[in-house]
Amino acid sequence: MSIILRRLVMVTALLFSTSQTQAWSWLGKDKDTSYANTRYPIVLVGGLIAFDDIAGIDYFYGIADDMRDYGAEVYESNVSALQSNEYRGEELIIQIENYLAVTGATKVNLVGHSQGAGTARYVAAVRPDIIASVTSVHGENRGTPVADILRGLIPQGSAAEELADMVANGFGFLWELASGGPNAKSQSTKAVLVASTTEGMAAFNQRYPQAMPTSACGTSGEHAVNGVRYWSWGGTGVRTNLLDPFDSVLVTVTQFAFSSGVEHDGVLPLCGMYLGKPIRHDYRHNHADAIRQLFGLLGWETDPKTLYRNHANRLKNAGL
């Protein structure tokens, strides 16, 4: 056996005989398992058609496990797929209280994507005693013109609205059964449209203004309100990966809801993503990229897993 071959055998034996952590360390790629070890647990809150996982596929695709690898304690909430921020927020409060009972923690850090940001904001407004921070990721903080168009096509009180609500209830029922979510029979197109239109979110922001920028396209709001700290990040990518079917939908359908020159992520305008202290809002991520969907198909921008992991470290360094 040649010297080179013997060395290859020795290296192979080393890799298979040591633990995974030791092997990664030998390759110079060991993980700092305290990097994301926050004081309080992190709770991820999904947006429209939210779920924790279906058939092993996470809403926040691969993100929670990555943060756990770096020491974070992470829970993936499961609120109603099609409901208002307040309704979903009340469900989330019950889930948070369960997490606190299990962990012995006194508070949690909420990270909400899309409508999940509004859901998290509601909880922080009515129960600041159990919330350490709220982070909005591509958050629906001022509504979306996509919902405005749908509201125009489905007028309030119309037969079309009643039909859409019946379809939503059927879809929501099956979706919640698949994901093990709460209130499978309580889904509503009406509630989602009210919650997601620019008019509906303007009314929501009057009721719960915490950390919202005061001007129409302000880039920052109060960082700390009632003991809760607020952050946000967002992006303005639309078509970022030609292999991702979500990108085709964003380009061919939803982009027509936006006026020329308006920066957006395919679903939400950039001006609506700001909340509290801005981190960065020009990532080349579209609305689905922010949660690594579909199945992690991304462009050349930073992998969102890195953004969530770094934010957990940010929370850790802030004593949260």
Query: Residue 281 catalytic?
Result: no
Strand partners, 8: none
For residue 318, give the amino acid letter: A
Joined together, the tokens standing for residue 116 give 């999940």
For residue 88, give the amino acid letter: R
Query: Residue 223 catalytic?
Result: no
User: Distance (Å, rounded) from C-alpha 138 to C-alpha 116?
Assistant: 10
Instruction: Using CA atoms of 78, 80, 85, 88 in order, give the dihedral in degrees to the nearest 10.
Output: -60
User: Distance (Å, rounded) from C-alpha 228 to C-alpha 282?
Assistant: 25
Angle of helix 198-207 relative to helix 189-196, nearest 10 degrees, comes to 80
Integer-rounded Cα Rg, in Å, for the chain is 21
Joined together, the tokens standing for residue 288 give 């689905």
**Could you give the angle at the alpha carbon of 96 between the alpha carbons of 199 and 309, nearest 5°?**
85
DSSP state of 238: S
Choosing from 264, 281, 285, 287, the catalytic residue is 287
**Total Cβ atoms within 10 A of residue 61:** 19
Choosing from 265, 285, 289, 311, the catalytic residue is 265
Contact between 95 and 64 (Cβ < 8 Å): no
Query: Residue 265 catalytic?
Result: yes
Choosing from 114, 133, 179, 196, the catalytic residue is 114
User: Distance (Å, rounded) from C-alpha 188 to C-alpha 100?
Assistant: 29
The HSE-up count of residue 169 (CA atoms within 13 Å, CB side) is 9
Catalytic residue numbers read 114, 265, 287
